Structure 1
């Protein structure tokens, strides 16, 4: 598997994000899905990483929005058939290293309680639960997490 920084506006990545959106909407109502649109993903303060299989197909992705206050993980997804290979861990590590290189010292994310595997991964990687941050409101369908850069 190859992981690299890429632009999100490629057809296979757009399809990957569409799969993520469809999956999220099976778990949560639309008002509890805090997804970034394509225009937001293409902003200069967003780092976007893509995992590709041996054939070059996009099988995973994630973004980090880097602000002066924190870096926020967004659009983290690995196709079900590619899970269990450490891709999410590698993609997240790549995003954290790039954010640190840009001076970011705090990483945050919002996920949901219906994704216990994701929560377990984040906890294993040093993220801890916290309250809402940024513009988020308290939502029973949100789990907020943060990690201080090492």
Structure 2
């Protein structure tokens, strides 16, 4: 499937629906206190850039955000692809777009937090195929056993 990935505002109805779908997917997999969700309003805030993957007919089928923490550190947030298009490398393309922008902004280390429960295996595959390696807890996330952490050093 051909998709176009662009930086867009998350303050759009179809992106809001994807965020709702992502949250609904995560709710049964991890206790609520160990879910670190951003609202679309937070995703539209300073220091965050959101990419949206759209089909040729304009349907939003995936998203990912880059959160800049300063001092060369960035975080991948709100990665999601619609179940109907999984396995078509859209997640990998979104991750590559985040990495490209991070490198352009002099970010040399990307980190992310994802779930550690059954059901997160597709996400782990995307990150690991993208060159991310598991690591210890990052940023201010608790090392609860409900999260898996990844990192990747970007070359300049």
The answer to whether the aligner puts 1:31 opposite 2:28 as a matched pair is no
Partner of 1:99: 102
Segments of 5+ residues of structure 1 without an aligned counterpart are none
**Structure 1 residue 135, shift from structure 2 partner:** 0.9
**TM-score, normalised with respect to structure 1:** 0.96
Partner of 2:10: 8
**TM-score, normalised with respect to structure 2:** 0.92
Whether the 8 Å CA contact 2:10–2:41 is kept in 1: the answer is no
Partner of 2:93: 90
Aligned mates of 2:56, 2:104 — CA distance in 1? 29
**Structure 1 residue 44, shift from structure 2 partner:** 2.6
What SS does the aligned partner of 2:77 have?
strand
What SS does the aligned partner of 1:4 have?
strand
**Structure 1 residue 119, shift from structure 2 partner:** 0.9
- CA displacement 1:51-97 (0-9 Å, x = unmatched): 01122111100101012141111100000001111111111111111
| Of 109, 117, 121, the match for 1:116 | 121
| Of 110, 119, 129, the match for 2:134 | 129
Q: CA RMSD in A?
A: 1.0
Aligned mates of 1:3, 1:57 — CA distance in 2? 11
**Structure 1 residue 112, shift from structure 2 partner:** 1.0
Aligned mates of 1:118, 1:16 — CA distance in 2? 16
Aligned mates of 2:14, 2:129 — CA distance in 1? 30
Segments of 5+ residues of structure 2 without an aligned counterpart are none
**Aligned residues between the structures:** 150
**Structure 1 residue 133, shift from structure 2 partner:** 1.4
Whether the 8 Å CA contact 2:10–2:50 is kept in 1: the answer is yes
What SS does the aligned partner of 2:36 have?
coil
Aligned mates of 1:81, 1:74 — CA distance in 2? 21
The answer to whether the aligner puts 1:79 opposite 2:68 as a matched pair is no
Which of structure 1's runs of 4+ aligned residues deviate more than 6 A?
Answer: none
